[in-house]
Chain A
Amino acid sequence: MKRGKLLFISFSLLVSSFNTLAAQSNGEGSQFLLNSLFVIAALVFFAIVIQVSDNLMAIEAKRTGADKDGNHFGLMPRFYELVGSKLPSYLKNERVIISKKGFDIPLEGQALKEKLTVSVLRFAVNPTNFKGISPIPKVVVEVGDTVKAGDAIFFDKVQPDLIFSSPVSGEIVEIKRGEKRAINEIVILADKTQEFKSFDKPNLGTISREDLVKTLASSGLMTFFLQRPFNTLPNLTVVPRDIFVSTFDSAPLAPDLAFALKGQETAFQAGIDVLNKLTSGKVYLGLDGRGETDAASIFTGVTGAEKYYFRGKHPIGNVGVQIHHIKPISPNDIIWTINPQDVVILGKFMLEGKVVQSRMLAITGANLNKTGYLNLPLGASVSDLLQSEQLAGEYRIISGDVLSGTQISKNGFVGFYDDQVTVVEEGNNFELFGWLLPLDMRPSVSKTFPSALLGGVASAANTNNRGEKRAFVVTGEYDNLLPMDILPQQLFKAIVVNDIEKMENLGIHELVEEDVALCEFGCTSKQPLQTILRNGLDVVKAEG
């Protein structure tokens, strides 16, 4: 179809340029009319030729049986292909939310769907992973202590009941401190055979909500929840309006959560039951409706949750975007969100009475020899994880995805909330006319790059800033990258000038950093939008 379009455009350009010449030399009306008639006749002729050959092709396709699966072999799109997107059959009777905004960044280095075997010995709990925690939490272990998985490691002085527990059993080998004696990392050397602290299995039928929260908090499980607005640790004294779970991640190179959770259906259901006990409202599941076949089949049997399918491009998988479309947050609401892999951790606690803090971790990146998934306790050491990789040159290791992940050092540890490690090349080299005539492929929202014509060819990412920071110049580009009814540019300007009332009115409480990360990626002026948003959130939060 593309070639046909191209032919048509070039032909009409040819005709019109010929026409220009003709009209210039004569300028006579009759000549112009004659030319136009000639052009129309030629167009009609071409249209007939194309139509006939198109029909011949369709007939041939039918004869050989190539169009069996409903594939359409014509050159011209059929009418229904032009108007509206045809929903695949599995979405027909479901609640579907479709968004045309957003962008899927095509990157190389997607994790292969196979399980890797790497022995990881060291794990760490990192207090700085938790937003809203005081800088120096109270550590209850010392170097040399041995802990079981589920034992308390530290607690927040603001909420002493909120325990942060150990993901593995082993020996505390190091407590790293940063500036002003802030605690950066508590490193644990894991035992070969894991021991779990045993808890009494709570009975959901009889236990009160308060007791349940207490049990979960004492075992460290409440730390898996994030509270909105502001995306902080949950306040144990409030009852959230609703709890939202997005069962898919649309970020670049993100893990396939349906693959990661295969076989965990029972634990997932048990976890959903816990969520229902914790909220006064409902539990909402955002399901993956992007594909032509149902990718969310393992979640469709879940009971006790409102299910919505989401169809569109990144950031459609972000839970914040889904909340906005299902039931937006108003400034006085409190909402909790939780990662589906952590719902399984909750469920396992209910079923087995132990805290199994482990997730499927995706190892991604174009420069890695081997990408894939592995099931590991949280906070795994990156140097252990990537021990078999020989990375020549300079690379950046990111805990999380390339948009909103955190850069960690070669000896760092995977972040508490992250289920992905991405390795990208550092782009610290000069590029000759790189802004004008780039020779290698790079991801872009803009159609000025040839890759846009080729239809989103994946490229290996690097971390070059691709230009210098400028004032806000282009308007409307964030609107196309944020599938929410929010005026992003006006909001950012309100944050920059510290206009708190306007920030609240424009809906800052509906956003967290990951929601605007794509806008930051596509920003022509290279503005640090996630940082700006976090500053705004901090100001609004401090204002109360």
Chain B
Amino acid sequence: MLLRRKDNILKVARKDMKNSLLSFFQKIEPDKKKSPFLHTLYDGFFTFAFTPNHVTKGGVHVRDGMDLKRLMFHVVIAMQLCYLFGTYNIGQQHFSALGMYEGFLEGFHLKIFYGLVQILPLFVVANVVGLGIEFFYAYKKGHGIEEGFLVSGALIPLVMPPALPLWILAISVAFAVIIGKEAFGGTGMNVLNIALLSRVFIFFAYPTYISGDDCWVAGLEKVDGVWTASYNGFVTGVLNPAFESFGWATYQNGLAVVDGYSGATPLSLAAKGGWEGVLTRFTPEQMFWGNIPGSIGETHKLFIVLGAGFLIYLGIASWRIMVSMVFGLVITGLLFNMWNATPAMDVPWYYHFSMGSFLFAMAFMATDPVTASATNRGKLIYGFLIGTIGLVIRVLNPAYPEGWMLAVLFMNVFAPLIDHFVVESHIAKRKSRLSKLANS
């Protein structure tokens, strides 16, 4: 009873809000003929705020409440824990390089605000550039704005190193959206994963910004051969006075890093010194709980697993891809452990899960339905091969000790081929079944 009344109050309140918003939208609607670009933009925002009043015609009379917007939004929700921890970890890694605030809650405000200062511009630039291009193409082609960039725009900041210059990000996103997507026909037509395409663009065009040991910790600058902390004007001019007024600790320019500091990730340590090399700097627990340098969203393994579980439970991401990818990694890892010819090969197979970005690629990259295999059996093959190829690249490639980005893109290209063979075998099976029936 009470619940129902509350429900009604909610409904009335929403009706009022809806009507005033609806009339506001109708007031500002630009003329379609005079300013088509503005109208496309308007239409995009309007359909975001309101489900259109279209009714079914010609086929089913009742439709499922699920649409592409809702689907993609749930993928974005699944990444939110990675965003939270990624923001914190930017600050955590920065201060642990300086030898300060090692504890989780020590200097918490400094870490969170520093993380925000780094991640917000990345997010804004990625989305402004990507959405801007989407809007432009929607207007050029004369169709409505589609929500394809919703997920890509949320994924891109998570796969970038925290210290990435914004102009490089802008160029890479523009490349990925124009060449990777619009050239192929827009949402649902792309062959390659957009977020990974923008990352691989940086990897080949500006390799020093995304590989090596120096790019994974933000806010350090080399002065006279020594890495020292350096902050921009916003941090020193706005945040510091604000924290001072509360009597909190502030950021200090020019602090030197601790002795023997290196920004190396577990992967580059493993490439040089094997599992022993990794253990000189990191504990396995540390890698699992994400207290390591790396791309923004990839470090906290539990949060990624929770996101993956959320997507599997809702039936949005394919469990087939994820499970077969794990199998691919485990089997290849075991083989490498048996072979044990180089230092990198002796990393125990189970620790490959907590190093680097395997889980992130599994949960959010490989499962992109547009670029993955479309058939159920194809998904198993596709995932397994990503797991295998990715680990081969990680272990054997001397130049870049991580393989998932390249493996996923590689298999994106081969997904249609896998589907082709799956469909052919399905057809052959159908034919043999029918001929058996005809003879019976």
- Residues of A with Cβ closer than 8 Å to B? 16, 20-21, 23-25, 27-29, 32, 105, 107, 252, 327-328, 330, 396, 398, 402-405, 407, 422, 424, 426-436, 438-439, 442-449, 461-468, 470-476, 479, 485, 487, 489-490, 505-507, 517, 520-526, 528-531
Contacts and interface: CB of A to CB of B under 8 A. Distances in A.
Nearest to B70: A435
Contacts of B315: 446-447
Nearest to B426: A487
Contacts of A330: 434, 437-438
Interface string B416-440: 0001000100110011011001100
B286 to A, nearest CB: 5
Interface of B: 7, 10-11, 14, 17-18, 21-22, 47, 49-56, 58-71, 73-74, 103-105, 144, 146, 185-189, 283, 285-286, 288-289, 291, 302, 313-316, 318, 369-370, 372-376, 379, 419, 423, 426-427, 430-431, 433-434, 437-438
A466 B103 contact: no
A105 B60 CA distance: 13
Contact of A432 (B14, B56, B63, B105): B14
- Looking at chain A's contact residues, the main secondary structure is loop
A475 B372 contact: yes
Contacts of B374: 475-476, 489-490
Contacts of A445: 64, 66
- Most A C-beta atoms less than 10 A away, residue of B17, B70, B376: B70
Contacts of A438: 65
Given A464-B54, A487-B426, A524-B71, A470 B60 contact: no
B269 to A, nearest CB: 17
Given A23-B289, A505-B427, A521-B60, A464 B53 contact: yes
A24 B291 contact: yes
List 6 A-B pairs, minimum CB-CB distance, nearest first.
A467-B67, A471-B188, A434-B51, A24-B104, A442-B65, A465-B54
Contact of A522 (B53, B64, B146): B64
A435 B69 contact: yes
A465 B63 contact: yes
A473 B68 contact: yes
A367 to B, nearest CB: 13
Given A27-B285, A443-B64, A530-B60, 7 more contacts: A25-B105, A403-B60, A432-B49, A436-B69, A467-B52, A473-B369, A531-B59
A449 B289 contact: no
Contacts of B67: 435, 466-468, 470, 524, 526
A473 B372 CA distance: 10
B47 A468 contact: yes
Contact of A430 (B53, B60, B73, B372): B53
14 contacts: A24-B291, A25-B103, A330-B434, A428-B54, A446-B314, A464-B54, A465-B56, A467-B66, A468-B144, A471-B185, A473-B71, A490-B423, A506-B426, A517-B59
B313 A447 contact: yes
Given A432-B49, A436-B70, A490-B375, A424 B103 contact: no
- Most B C-beta atoms less than 10 A away, residue of A252, A463, A467, A472: A467
A449 B52 contact: no
Contacts of A443: 62, 64-65
A521 B369 contact: no
A27 B51 contact: no
